[in-house]
Structure 1
Amino acid sequence: MKTIKVLSIFQLTLGLVVVASCSPSYNKEGTGEYFDDSVVTANVKAAILSEKSLSVAEINVETFKGVVQLSGFVKLRENINTAVKLTAKVPGVISVKNDKQLNIALRCIRISS
């Protein structure tokens, strides 16, 4: 009988630990939020891919609790604005953080005399 009580308490404790580990906190997403953010990220990438002027390889997309962070290097300032506008239209996006920068290539010209 004592073994049954110990096993019951163990199962109850294990169940509480599992439930607590799946719950969200300020810095950590819950399981449901993680999957929601994955869907938002995929939808943002699809929107960027469908835009001919943007390159998915140039723009990194990360989502945490509905806040989308765009980062990377693009060639034109218009591309930054276009990516932000497209991202804001995606369902599930709460806000957009823009960390993209212009990729300015400097060429060195060798002058021979």
Structure 2
Amino acid sequence: MNKPVLTLAFTTALVATLATTAGCAVTRNQETVGAYIDDATLTTRVKSKFAADPVVSAMSISVETMKGTVQLSGFAKSNEERATAEKLARETSGVVAVRNDIAVRP
């Protein structure tokens, strides 16, 4: 292939790729990239608090965030652990609400 044809082919492929992926950068309910990053930051902050806390098992409790609402799920060893996890999440700066779906294992 000669250079102009190769350049045109590359440019066409690049434009097609950008056109198809630009609208798909974030797929969670059409959330903006900024909001997605904010939610990821909140999730990290909550998980860090869990890891630093002696009562909460960070490995047993999952944290997901959507538009500032933190959802906790997984299993706790006691009601105290469940309540502490919720309290830590609520006290995290930027958290709008907490949905506590943690189950207590007997």
TM-score for both structures, normalised by structure 2: 0.74
Residues 22 and 30 of structure 1 are in contact (CA less than 8 Å); yes or no, is this contact kept in structure 2? no
* Partner Cα separation in structure 2 for residue 46 and residue 86 of structure 1: 10
* TM alignment of 1:42-53, pairs within 5 A: 42-53=44-55
Letter of the aligned partner of 1:75 in structure 2?
K
Let me know the Cα RMSD of the aligned residues: 2.2
Structure 2 equivalent of residue 39 of structure 1: 41
Letter of the aligned partner of 2:97 in structure 1?
S
Deviation at 1:81, TM superposition (A): 0.6
Aligned length: 88
Letter of the aligned partner of 1:95 in structure 2?
A
Residues 70 and 98 of structure 1 are in contact (CA less than 8 Å); yes or no, is this contact kept in structure 2? yes
TM-score for both structures, normalised by structure 1: 0.69
Say whether 1:29 aligns with 2:62. Answer: no
- With over 3 angstroms needed to count, the CA separation of the structure-2 counterparts of 1:57 and 1:89, relative to structure 1, is same
Which of structures 1 and 2 has the bigger CA Rg? 1
* Partner Cα separation in structure 1 for residue 31 and residue 72 of structure 2: 19
Structure 1 equivalent of residue 81 of structure 2: 79
* Partner Cα separation in structure 2 for residue 87 and residue 58 of structure 1: 15
Deviation at 1:28, TM superposition (A): 2.6
Output one character per residue of 1:60-89: Cα deviation in whole Å (capped at 9) or x when no partner: 000001000000011100111101111001
* Partner Cα separation in structure 2 for residue 41 and residue 88 of structure 1: 12
Report the 3-state secondary structure (helix = DSSP H, G, I; strand = E; otherwise coil) of the residue aligned with 2:36: helix
Identity of aligned residues (%): 40
Structure 1 runs not aligned, ≥5 long: 1-10, 105-113
Structure 2 equivalent of residue 108 of structure 1: none
Letter of the aligned partner of 2:86 in structure 1?
V
Which of residues 55, 58, 61 is equivalent to 2:60?
A: 58
Structure 2 runs not aligned, ≥5 long: 1-14
Which of residues 87, 90, 96 is equivalent to 1:88?
A: 90
Report the 3-state secondary structure (helix = DSSP H, G, I; strand = E; otherwise coil) of the residue aligned with 1:72: strand
Deviation at 1:23, TM superposition (A): 9.4
